[in-house]
């Protein structure tokens, strides 16, 4: 009979802690006590276990998100690269929807450019030319980040393991191809209840949101799950995130692309 190593046991305990927090809507303690604060392979193995648990519960994978695209946030986390997480079908909303707050714990909103792929990104150099050719269209998006870790007390391994601190996302129904807008040139305003709370631009996202998608395509392939046609890609924040509360109306305006609004309400 073989027994799991202490490292494997720790990763399984970390995944179970996060999955329980997700299912019970109760924040948990950080998982870095189990897997260390910056162990990238261990953190992604925990994320994979968390993803397997979600899929076993009926969730369907519909895309990926990129996090930590800001140099300032990377410095804060003590890392030199972004991270990524998985988007599930039950995380998706469209502009004008009411988003129930009871499915979130500690939500923070940020503005992003989202893309939908028309081609797989599994082979080839995965350079900018290939990325552009694989993108079907883009749209304005609100990503609501959320942490299962109590008080957002996170280090790099915590956020990676916790599906890159994913919550939900809201997509504008208006779309444009890359012939009609340039992601690097967009400007962004985010408003909460009509008050401007965050501004930014395309260059704030790894120099260009397309750079972020290229990074993600390579990272996803390296981890054995390449990006596929039809998937949604959240390319990373264009400016600072802001906390949201029940009753808040969040609006993201992205020049040359569109405007998307959602209201965050109590109840199911």
Q: What is the pLDDT of residues 136-191, one digit of tens each?
A: 999 999 999 999 999 999 999 999 999 999 999 999 999 999 999 999 999 999 99
Asked if the structure places residue 215 within a domain, the reply is yes
Contact 244, 264 (CB under 8 A): yes
- Find how far residue 204's CA is from the centre of its chain: 16
d(CA 93, CA 47): 23
Asked if the structure places residue 36 within a domain, the reply is no
pLDDT band at 73 (very low <50, low <70, confident <90, very high): low
pLDDT band at 3 (very low <50, low <70, confident <90, very high): very low
Point out which residues pair with 34 in neighbouring strands.
none
Give mean pLDDT, residues 52-80: 85
Cα dihedral 184→69→148→34 (10° resolution) = 160
**Average pLDDT of the chain, as a whole number:** 94
Q: Pick the range with the lowest mean pLDDT from 5-14, 163-172, 204-213, 252-261.
A: 5-14
Contact 46, 39 (CB under 8 A): no
Which has the closest alpha carbon to 131: 144, 145, 121? 121
Give mean pLDDT, residues 10-24: 96
d(CA 170, CA 260): 8
Residue 67 φ then ψ, to 5°:
-125, 170
pLDDT at residue 238 tops 80: yes
| Number of folded domains that form the chain | 1
Mapped onto helix, strand or coil, the DSSP state of residue 190 is strand
Cα dihedral 204→205→207→208 (10° resolution) = -120
Q: Is the dihedral of CA 257, 193, 23, 14 positive or negative?
A: positive
The CATH number of whichever domain residue 146 belongs to comes to: 3.90.850.10
Asked if the structure places residue 162 within a domain, the reply is yes
- Residue 176: domain span: 61-265
Asked if the structure places residue 136 within a domain, the reply is yes
| 183-223 pLDDT tens trace | 999 999 999 999 999 999 999 999 999 999 999 999 999 99
Q: Which one is predicted more confidently, 70 or 217?
A: 217
> Which structure tokens are listed for 223?
């981890």
Asked if the structure places residue 248 within a domain, the reply is yes
pLDDT at residue 2 tops 50: no
Asked if the structure places residue 4 within a domain, the reply is no
d(CA 75, CA 193): 31
Give mean pLDDT, residues 101-115: 96
d(CA 200, CA 58): 37
> Which structure tokens are listed for 120?
């797989």
Asked if the structure places residue 51 within a domain, the reply is no
> Which structure tokens are listed for 99?
């988003």
Asked if the structure places residue 182 within a domain, the reply is yes
pLDDT on residue 68: 86
Give mean pLDDT, residues 241-259: 97
């Amino acid at each position: 009979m073989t027994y799991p190593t202490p490292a494997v046991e720790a990763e399984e305990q970390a995944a179970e802690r996060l999955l329980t927090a997700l299912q019970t809507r109760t924040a948990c303690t950080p998982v870095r006590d189990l897997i260390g604060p910056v162990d990238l392979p261990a953190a992604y193995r925990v994320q994979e276990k968390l993803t397997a648990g979600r899929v076993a519960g009926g969730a369907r994978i519909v895309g990926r998100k990129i996090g930590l695209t800001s140099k300032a946030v990377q410095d804060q986390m003590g890392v030199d690269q972004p991270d990524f997480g998985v988007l599930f079908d039950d995380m998706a909303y469209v502009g004008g929807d009411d988003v129930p707050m009871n499915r979130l714990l500690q939500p923070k909103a940020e503005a992003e450019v989202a893309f939908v792929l028309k081609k797989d990104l599994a082979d080839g150099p995965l350079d900018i030319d290939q990325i552009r050719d694989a993108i079907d269209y883009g749209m304005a998006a609100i990503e609501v980040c959320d942490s299962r870790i109590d008080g957002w007390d996170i280090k790099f391994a915590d956020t990676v393991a916790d599906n890159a601190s994913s919550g939900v996302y809201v997509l504008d129904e208006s779309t444009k191809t890359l012939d009609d807008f340039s992601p690097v040139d967009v400007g962004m305003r985010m408003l909460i209840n009509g008050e401007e709370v965050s501004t930014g631009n395309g260059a704030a996202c790894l120099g260009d949101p397309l750079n972020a998608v290229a990074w993600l395509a390579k990272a996803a392939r390296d981890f054995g799950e390449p990006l596929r046609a039809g998937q949604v890609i959240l390319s990373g924040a264009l400016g600072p995130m802001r906390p949201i509360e029940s009753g808040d109306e969040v609006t993201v305006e992205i020049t040359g692309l569109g405007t998307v609004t959602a209201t965050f309400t109590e109840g199911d």
